[in-house]
Structure 1
Amino acid sequence: MDNIIFQVLSDCINQHKPKRILVGFSGGMDSSVLLHAISQLNNSIPIIAIHIHHGLSVHADQWLSLCEQQCKQLKVHFVSERVSVPRDAGSLEQAARLARYEVFEKYIMFGDALLLGHHQDDQIETFMMRLMRGSGMTGLTAMENERSIGKGILLRPLLSVSREQIEQYANHFELSHVDDESNDDISFDRNWWRHQLLPTLNERYPQANQSIVKTISILQTEHKLLNDLIDPIYQQVVDNQGRLDSNKLGRQSWSIQCQLIRKWLEQHNRYPLLADKQIRVLLAEVMNARIDAEPVFRWQDNEVRRHNGKLYVMPSLPEVNTSVFLQNFNGNVNPQLPAGQLKWQPGLGLKPSEYQLALYQGTLKARPINRPNKALKKWFQEFDIPPWQRPFWPVLLKNGEVVAVPGLFVCQGYACEQGWQFSFQI
């Protein structure tokens, strides 16, 4: 039995030394081999298999049961999440992918590594599909071996392993796995490449796979070189909060602007990266919009906005009725906010007590320590909080009076040295 799978996994774990290993576990052959092999390495790192129930197949419940049984046999902790994927989405594959990654980001913590079972043949299919879409160098680097995701890191340790080697491993260990009927549906581009065009290509050019893999490797090296060369310019146009200065960006040539935008999106883990045509629209509609506008460019579940000459990139913000949001808050329970993260720790700040947590309403008035009493709208303008962030900003109340705005200020009469220090970030 070829031990290449054990070797690449061992090398990957030894290199990154994660606190926990999360495995994206669909139950298919690839993820079943990945989970089985990682569980055989006999390391002391906790392993968690995450199964996403998309509800797109009549067999989805059976797959869930099979995955749970396999994890019991392997003595691996198993978690599953049901997600809702709109069948009328423009791309069902992309909608399902977005739903999966939302679940992954929910579970991954600092120091964790999420392992996915993509292999060499998947990489080749990705390259060919992007080639047909007219992708540039960034797109043609195909899938990355590693990148950050949420609070941890995403790893694809099997990208150097072929589908044939995956199948040999599964047969050797007699692994049962899910057979997703959608994998045979050639109306999906990836399946058409897999079942029709690539086999024909390999018949004509037996070394096609090796040549494509070599090309991807060269492009990845050149892409890294390009990013290294452009980094001094990038450091000039991005600030310490990760925002792009639209004026400085606008002074660069078109080609450098494109590469800076791509590098910026990579740094913020906003995928999929944009094609040249999309970047053209982004620059025209956002960066070059009229000065008094608050423009936005959206794609997938991401958006880019501009405020006071700065470009912001973020997950798409939800629709929310701020007037009906109200929770009790005593510092003991982490509140569920529509967007952003609220954190607090002991220190000079708000007196511990029982409060109500609401969302921003511009007409409410507040009096920060040694400052005048003004409407929140005025304070948020003074603190330069972008208009689209304001509806999601938490505000602490006592008997209907504003006592603190997390991340901005504590109000007169409500501060103490051994209180709560708040921070808030969208």
Structure 2
Amino acid sequence: MVKDTDTLLKTVGASWLKAAGRPATVTVGLSGGLDSVVLLHVLARLQTECGFVLSALYVHHGLQAEADDWLVFCRAYCASLGVSFYFEHVQVERNGKGLEGAARQARYQAYERSAGDVIALAHHQNDQSETFMLAALRGGGLRALAAMPEWRVLALNGKQIWRPLLSVSRQALQAYAAEHGLFYIEDPSNADNSLLRNWLRNEALPLWRERVPQLDEQLSAGVQLLQQQLAVLDEVAKDDARWLEEAGYFDCKRWRQLSPARQCQQLYYLARRKQLGVPTAASVADFQRVLQQLKPGVQAEWRLPSGKVYAYQNQLFVLPQDWLKDCFWLDWQTMQGQNACLKEMAASGNIKLCWHKLGLREDVLEQKLVIRAVTTDDVIELTAGHKKVRKLLQECKIPPFARPHWPVITDVNNHCIAVANIWVSPSHACPDGVLPVFEQFNLFILEPK
């Protein structure tokens, strides 16, 4: 007779071989609870067969009085299995989130910093049912209703999340722990039914299971179908995005040729792949309406949890919250009272000196100069006459949001002698000179001089 525990080993082993099947470092997110204790035990038995190197990480949120004791338990448990153990203290910052969501974010950030190529998490079939029901109760779309995938990419460096227990019931995990004499921690916060997930787990779903005994299996099958449909939707979204950005930028003219549903999908997809946070349905619909009606020369702004998207001249510009962090000339306290030759400033900052057919002379580069943000009073010499620098930026069709931050180079008398990336004063120039360039701003120059 095949034991349930043998089935569990086969399930986890098959999941690894199906999706990974190569040597890797696997780090288990270990809390000390039943689920992660069983998962670590199973993976410890499988590591030789599957060829991965195993470790465990305990994330200390500092939210429970017993957290230090749980850390001690996890360390001792790993020692008993001969598994490398690590822990990390994290700061849970709510920033408008619920406590549970903020703790989860801090935990996953710790996973991103961990040494493992693969982060193994012990979410099981019952957890999947809870996640689906929470998404339905909160009015989630297809991505939310598709709940937790077995594998997903966690970070840009290719680190992955692996959930091999999604087809395994909590009852099967309890049977495994009993057979192998495994001790585990009971988190007292799991009994707090003021949290919606706990109420579902402890009160609502048990009633459903009495009426529908195969509830978790049926929800699991439904989630798998949703994940398949989501995969198809993602393929369409990738193809559309490739077409929209064929010229190297998000083309709003092409975007308007899509159906309204695909327009909407592209905005969600853009926010997700640029890691700007999850927008609300209302904000997506509002920006979609604005883009459909936006006139040339008018700027529109879409605010997202982790950045902004600007529309201008039928292009979209995606900016994270810290997009100005390398603009050292905007730090007035750092720049105040300082001036140096341009060569020195280029060596210490992010301004490069690039060859230009009519650029600054060598002797000018040796002078004491200042780099600062443009002002409304700045004027630059042209081949014939002079022009306001702000007018020059406008003629280059630089989006309005970028113009106030544009770097100019002035002499010690505050006379503008160069506009970064664009122009140098002819009286300070020579053939085959250099142009000061801040490369990150090149994408904003829609009509070069």
TM-score, normalised with respect to structure 2: 0.68
CA contact (8 A) 2:277 2:304 kept: no
| Preserved contact between residue 128 and residue 147 of structure 2 (Cα < 8 Å) | yes
Cα shift readout 1:240-282 (whole Å, capped 9, x = no counterpart): 87x643332233222112223344455456665x453342244
- What CA deviation, in whole Å up to 9, does each residue of 1:279-314 have, x standing for no partner? 224435788777554624223x56545566444557
- Whether the aligned pair in 2 keeps the contact of 1:21 and 1:46 (CA below 8 Å) is yes
Shift of 1:173: 1.9
What amino acid is the match of 2:259? S
Q: Aligned with 1:40: secondary structure?
A: helix
Give the equivalent residue in structure 2 for 1:211: 218
- The answer on 1:35 being equivalent to 2:22 is no
Q: Partner amino acid for 1:10?
A: G
The amino acid of 2:240's aligned partner reads I
The 1:367–1:217 alpha-carbon spacing in structure 2 relative to 1, beyond 3 Å, is closer
**Cα pair 1:20 1:47 within 8 Å, conserved:** yes
Q: Give the match's secondary structure for 1:187.
A: coil
What is the correspondence of 1:17-416 to structure 2 with a 5 Å cutoff? 17-43=22-48, 44-86=51-93, 89-107=96-114, 112-150=117-155, 151-152=157-158, 153-229=160-236, 231-239=238-246, 244-265=250-271, 267-268=273-274, 272=278, 274=279, 276-284=281-289, 291-293=297-299, 295-299=301-305, 301=306, 304-306=309-311, 309-311=314-316, 316-317=321-322, 322=331, 357-358=348-349, 367-370=353-356, 372-373=359-360
CA contact (8 A) 2:264 2:288 kept: no
The aligned counterpart of 2:7 is 4
**Helix, strand or coil: the match of 1:78?**
strand
For the pair shown, which has the larger CA radius of gyration, 1 or 2?
A: 2
CA distance in 2, matches of 1:157, 1:89: 32
User: CA–CA distance in 2 between the matches of 1:235 and 1:318?
Assistant: 24
- 2:446 aligned residue: none
- 1:23-54 deviation digits (Å, cap 9, x = unpaired): 22222221121122111113242223122111
1:341 aligned residue = none
* RMSD after superposition: 4.2
Provide the secondary structure at the position in 2 that maps to 1:41. Answer: helix
Could you tell me which runs of 5 or more consecutive residues in structure 2 were left unpaired when the two chains were aligned.
336-343, 361-370, 375-388, 408-419, 421-431, 442-449
Change (3 A) 1:24 1:42: closer
Conserved? CA contact 1:282–1:297, under 8 Å: no
Residues 140 and 38 (structure 1 numbering): CA distance in 2 closer, same or farther, change over 3 Å?
A: same
Count of residue pairs the alignment pairs up: 369
Q: How many Å apart are 1:142 and its aligned residue?
A: 1.2
**Alpha-carbon distance in 2 for matches of 1:325, 1:190:** 49
What is the one-letter code of the residue matched to 1:133?
Answer: R
2: distance between equivalents of 1:35 and 1:383? 57
The answer (yes or no) to whether the contact 1:286–1:295 under 8 Å persists in 2 is no
Cα offset, 1:235, TM superposition: 2.2
Change (3 A) 1:269 1:31: farther
Q: Give, in whole Å, the separation in 2 of the partners of 1:5 and 1:164.
A: 12
Instruction: Provide closer, same or farther for how the CA distance between residues 178 and 276 of structure 1 changes in structure 2, counting only shifts above 3 A.
Output: same
- State how far apart, in whole Å, the 1-side matches of 2:274 and 2:229 are: 21
Deviations 1:314-349 (A, max 9, x none): 7643996846789xxxxxxxxxxxxxxxxxxxxxxx
Secondary structure of the corresponding residue to residue 354 of structure 2:
coil
TM-score between the two structures when normalised by the length of structure 1: 0.71
Deviation digits for residues 159-216 of structure 1 (CA, Å, limit 9, x no counterpart): 1111111111222222222322221111111111111110011112222222212211
Residues 28, 231 of structure 1: CA spacing in aligned structure 2 closer, same or farther, 3 A cutoff? Answer: same
Which secondary structure does the structure 1 equivalent of 2:24 belong to?
coil
- Structure with a larger share of its residues in helix: 2
Classify 1:271/1:163 alpha carbon distance in 2 versus 1 (closer, same or farther; 3 Å): farther
8 Å Cα contact 1:148-1:269 kept in structure 2:
no
Percent identical: 28
Partners of 1:383 and 1:100 in 2: how far apart? 43
Q: Distance in 2 between matches of 1:126 and 1:155?
A: 16
After superposition, the Cα gap between the structure-2 partners of 1:204 and 1:170, relative to the gap in structure 1 and judged at 3 Å, is same
TM-fit CA distance, 1:13 = 2.6
Cα distance in 1 for residues equivalent to 2:245 and 2:34: 43
- Tell me the amino acid that sits aligned with residue 158 of structure 1: L
Deviation of the 1:104 alpha carbon: 1.6
Looking at structure 2, the residues matched to 166 and 240 of structure 1 have their Cα atoms a distance apart, in angstroms, of 52
8 Å contact from structure 2 (residues 47, 53) kept in 1: no
Contact kept in structure 2, 1:237 and 1:249, CA below 8 Å: yes
Question: Equivalents in 1 of 2:114, 2:72: separation in Å?
Answer: 21
Residue number in structure 1 paired with 2:383:
none
Amino acid in structure 2 at the alignment position of 1:83: V
Q: 1:171 to 1:28 in 2, by over 3 A?
A: same
Match of 1:13 in 2: 16
The answer to whether the 8 A contact 1:286-1:297 is kept is: no
Cα distance in 2, alignment partners of residues 248 and 74 from structure 1: 57
